[in-house]
Amino acid sequence: MRNVPIKRLAAGAITIVCFAHIVNAQAPAVPYAIPNPTYVSIPMEIMVNRPAAEVWKRVGKYCDIGEWLRIPCTITHGKDGEFGAVRSVANEVLVGKTELSYTYTQPVRTDRPYNLYHGTLEARPVTATTSKLVYTLVYDNSMLADDAARERDVAQRKAQFTQALQNMKILAEGGTLPPAPPRGAQPDGRGQR
């Protein structure tokens, strides 16, 4: 080994540093399960005429999703609002939270590729008497067939969660939700196309 710097340490040990070997000694890259992920972020928000703390108290419990998304929800593991709590909605796991927000993920399943799906719901103060609800989805949609399928997927999720935000606003402002449309129907009463 030529031109290799040697440094003596206090205990008499010798450290040999060879920069060429450090670069070559890196572990080989491990291939990803999804080789070319396409991460998308779908940020959505709606203004609410209530303070953020009141909004969160009304719609921010982990299983409140059942009311504003109009689906069944129970806590199947842990306690509502605690890290690691699992709700029956897609077995989603609570992985992050603040006083006025939470983040969840969906677990890896054996029947489909893992898309790293995460959602964050937050009540954000705007003024002393108003706030906005911010809902952000992040996931990998690379396993869909093509750009058109990815665009349809984003549009469908955006429509579903925009409706959820509208429902949360109604509830947080003291209103009641109108009857839910039949499963598979669109909000205007038409069937799925």
pLDDT band (50, 70, 90) for residue 14: very low
pLDDT band (50, 70, 90) for residue 190: very low
SS (H, E, C) 85-105: CEECHHHCEEEEEECCEEEEE
Q: How far is residue 81 from each of residues 11, 26, 64, measured CA to CA in Å?
A: 53, 41, 11
The span from the CA of 125 to the CA of 53, in Å, is 8
- CATH topology for 39-172 is Alpha-D-Glucose-1,6-Bisphosphate; Chain A, domain 4 (3.30.530)
pLDDT digits (tens, 9 = 90+) for 43-93: 999 999 999 999 999 999 999 999 999 999 999 999 999 999 999 999 999
Looking at the predicted structure, is the pLDDT value of residue 189 above 90? no
Check if the beta carbon of residue 139 is closer than 8 Å to that of residue 118: yes
The span from the CA of 128 to the CA of 150, in Å, is 39
Question: What is the reported pLDDT for 8?
Answer: 45
Largest CA distance in the chain: 82
The residues that bridge with 120 in the sheet, in sequence order, are 103, 136
The span from the CA of 145 to the CA of 156, in Å, is 16
Under DSSP, is residue 120 helix (H, G, I), strand (E, B) or coil?
A: strand
More confident residue, 167 or 23: 167
pTM of the model as a whole: 0.78
pLDDT band (50, 70, 90) for residue 15: very low
Looking at the predicted structure, is the pLDDT value of residue 165 above 60? yes
The span from the CA of 98 to the CA of 118, in Å, is 16
The span from the CA of 137 to the CA of 92, in Å, is 13
Residues 6+ apart with CB under 8 A from 60: 100, 101, 102, 121, 123
Could you state, in order of their start, the residue ranges of all structural domains in the chain?
39-172
pLDDT digits (tens, 9 = 90+) for 17-38: 444 444 455 556 778 888 889 9
